[in-house]
Amino acid sequence: MTQQLLSGATEKLPCWRPQGIPITEQERQQLMQYCIEAVFSIHNTEHRPAQLSEIWNIVKAKTHHGKRTVDRRVNEAASPLFTGGKPKIVAVSAGLYMVNPKLFGGDTKK
């Protein structure tokens, strides 16, 4: 009985698709750069934080990766853990990113 339950749990549904091949370090860095450029673009033209959906709309023309992968790279680009110090963009709130004001002598806590 237990064996039947376990074998049934590993059955793949017709809609199942394999996960894509993990990206290389070079691709990860390039996607992070595209995300940073998208945030700077929105900041320079509209002077406001960029939403994840807007970043995706800019980046998707330059890559074959999916939205979730791009969203992850945006989060990494805004994290000091992945950028080796002061990130070029920061998270304002969930799904909103802006240029890091500390890069220009500004304060992030206002």
17 inside domain: no
Q: State the average pLDDT over residues 21-33.
A: 89
Whether 20 is covered by a domain: the verdict is no
The pair of structure tokens assigned to 24 is: 């290389």
In a domain, 9, yes or no: no
Q: Domain count for the chain, please give it.
A: 1
Is there a domain that residue 49 lies in? Answer: yes
pLDDT at 14: 80
Whole-model pTM: value is 0.75
Residue at 11 is within a domain: no
CATH of the domain at 31: 1.10.10
Residue 12 within a domain? no
Look at residue 3 and tell me whether its pLDDT is greater than 70.
no
- 47 within a domain of the structure (yes/no): yes
Report the pLDDT value the prediction gives residue 78, as an integer from 0 to 100.
94
Instruction: Please report the pLDDT score of residue 13 as a whole number.
Output: 77
Per-residue pLDDT of 36-88, as tens digits, reads 999 999 999 999 999 999 999 999 999 989 999 999 999 999 999 888 888 99
